[in-house]
Amino acid sequence: MLEVMGNSPYDFVLNHSEKDLEILQNKSIHRTF
């Protein structure tokens, strides 16, 4: 997950583009709470 975000999740969240979000569509993301 961090590799997809360029090892900078905070920067990714603030400065993502539509193209960046398209990459995440086909990724399996496991979240825990």
Q: What is the pLDDT of residues 1-33, one digit of tens each?
A: 888 888 999 999 999 999 988 888 877 777 777
Q: How far apart are CA 14 and CA 26, in angstroms?
A: 21
Q: Are 32 and 12 in contact, with CB atoms under 8 Å apart?
A: no
Q: According to the model, what pLDDT value does residue 29 have?
A: 73
CA–CA distance, 33 with 15 (Å, rounded to integer): 25
Distances (CA, A) of 18 to 25, 32, 33: 11, 25, 27
Whether pTM > 0.95 for this model: the answer is no
What is the reported pLDDT for 22? Answer: 87
User: Residue with structure tokens 């709470």?
Assistant: 33
